[in-house]
Structure 1
Amino acid sequence: MRLDGVGRRYGRRGGVSGTGKGPGGGWVLRGVDLSLSERQLVRVQGDNGSGKSTLLRLLAGIDAPSAGRITGRPPTAYVPERFPAAMPLTVLGYLTRMGRVHGLRRDAAADEARGWLECFGADAYARTPLAELSKGSSQKVAVAQALMARPGLLVLDEAWTGLDLNARAVLDRSVAERVAEGGTVVFVDHDPARLAGAPDVTYRIEGGGLHEVDGRVPPGHGGVPAAGPQVRIEAEGPPGVALPSGLPGSPRTEQTPDGTTVLTAPAPYSDALLRGLLAGHWHIRSVAVEEASR
């Protein structure tokens, strides 16, 4: 997916509602060039009002650019900063309908919806009208509708806000799995520690432009940053069998004297990394999650 010279402005005379405010005389974003690839996790940062949500809405196809063009958008799912929960549907009814929109048969959509509600600890609310949900529960529904689509592009705008600890952990793992399965995830979050060490690249919006501020070694090349919780896996492969390439989380690897391979990666990638090793018939000796040294 590519953005070439993309800009977005609001109001006929510039600015929000024609006030003329904003960078460049009303342009919230201007001249944005961005290329997104498969298996990529992208973080977007910026001050309040800088245009982070505007960029995410453009990526998701919710808004159209005022200038430039966007090409190659894959099937996309979006979690907005504020979920419009005041709809005349129950939780299960809404998620089932969203599953149908994403191409699932009704029974499969309902099963998928129940499965995600259970993952997020919200299955008790399946028959509850959306309008009666708390902020935290409605946020779980918002996230579930995006994840059940298994999209090529997942766009998350403050998606963790309002979630309890268990639900946040589920979303962390789900993001890692989406990337490991070939998807692209772009997210904004107010917590600087969110998915620390996991993003492949971080951009900052400033003055209406998009600037890369932090790079990561491409997947499969190792070099995990020492930030955030890390998973440490000790594994042993079949004789003469090399470590599988392109493992999720771009793990750093080292060999111990007894021939054990030690892999270190951001903790959210633990499940996906273990599955990759097991698929390659590697024996897992131990798994530990620890804070990275600084």
Structure 2
Amino acid sequence: MAVRELSGVTKRHGARSVLRGVDLDVPAGAAVGILGANGSGKSTLLRILAGISRPSGGTVSGRPRIGYVPDRFPARQRMSARAYLRHLGRIGGLSTVDATARADGWLDRFALAGGPDTPLRDLSKGNAQKVGIAQALLCDPELLVLDEPWSGLDPDSRGVLTEVIGEVAAAGTAVVFTDHRPEAVRALATRSHRLADGRLEPLEAEVETCRIVLCDGESVDWAAQPGVQAVRPGHLDVTLVVTVEARESLLLKAIQQGCAVLSVASR
């Protein structure tokens, strides 16, 4: 069952279309990854998912409890990290004791430099991001919305965040995150999408390929052979870009046709 669903969602800023007919359902326990370049509309889409922004058209359904990490966490405040999180926890319905314990637990897990009593305005970008992630997790959200959440984090904290996303999704929380790295999206997401030109499409699995260089032999219509993705004729040779899965059968065919195999290399 989807905890949040977008149907035909559009967003315009003046005459510019940022989102065009976006459909997205986010089931409980899913980790939905959205890949996109800077300026592709990822942040706009996530603000709509989080209920921070309204779409220009289409519908948004579902009323889950939401934890949201924006692309830039506003940390220019005098409160300490602990006091800030305790305050948000109280607003979210937690007791002072519970809010403080949860705040300290998350800050300890992400190893906040300077400790929980450090004023927010004194934190580095990476440590401010840790507080931003902690506030989103504080009240056990049913939908966790993360905009480029690894940005600014040190390597250890990136690993912790990846672990946390897996843990909360396994516990039933729906997670939506954005990133600009295809490998990160594919590695963590149970559902992967690409946002480009305002349209959201499934992110196709990347097919591993290799390059085979041949010469001589009988004439073969290599472009018609299964697994051949590209044919690049040279002066005395021909280069084939083929899927790794089809490599052995294509090499066998080349040898049977009397071709000399000059090289085989991964792309």
User: What TM-score do you get using the length of structure 1 for normalisation?
Assistant: 0.66
| CA 1:214–1:199: 2 relative to 1, 3 Å | farther
Corresponding residue for residue 66 of structure 1: 56
Report 1:1-294 matches (<5 A): 1-11=4-14, 14=15, 26-122=16-112, 124-194=114-184, 196-214=186-204
Q: Conserved in 2, the CA contact under 8 Å of 1:114 and 1:123?
A: no
Read off the aligned partner of 1:66 and give its amino acid letter: S
Instruction: Give the CA RMSD over aligned residues.
Output: 1.9
* Structure 1: gaps of 5 or more residues: 15-25, 216-225, 227-294
Q: Which has the larger radius of gyration?
A: 2
Q: Conserved in 2, the CA contact under 8 Å of 1:117 and 1:123?
A: no
| CA 1:214–1:151: 2 relative to 1, 3 Å | farther
| Matched pairs, number | 204
CA distance in 2, matches of 1:195, 1:119: 23
Read off the aligned partner of 2:193 and give its amino acid letter: Y
Instruction: Report the Cα offset of residue 47 of structure 1.
Output: 2.2
Corresponding residue for residue 223 of structure 2: none
User: What TM-score do you get using the length of structure 2 for normalisation?
Assistant: 0.72
Instruction: Report the Cα offset of residue 190 of structure 1.
Output: 2.6
Instruction: Report the Cα offset of residue 97 of structure 1.
Output: 1.1
Q: Secondary structure at the match of 1:5?
A: strand
CA distance in 2, matches of 1:66, 1:184: 25
CA distance in 2, matches of 1:124, 1:197: 32
Q: Secondary structure at the match of 2:7?
A: strand
* Structure 2: gaps of 5 or more residues: 209-267
1:163-203 CA distance string (max 9 Å, x none): 11221111111100111011111111233332643311111
Instruction: Report the Cα offset of residue 123 of structure 1.
Output: 6.7
CA distance in 1, matches of 2:185, 2:19: 26
1:206-241 CA distance string (max 9 Å, x none): 2211111247xxxxxxxxxx9xxxxxxxxxxxxxxx
Greater relative contact order structure (CA < 8 Å, 6+ sep): 2
Instruction: Report the Cα offset of residue 89 of structure 1.
Output: 1.4
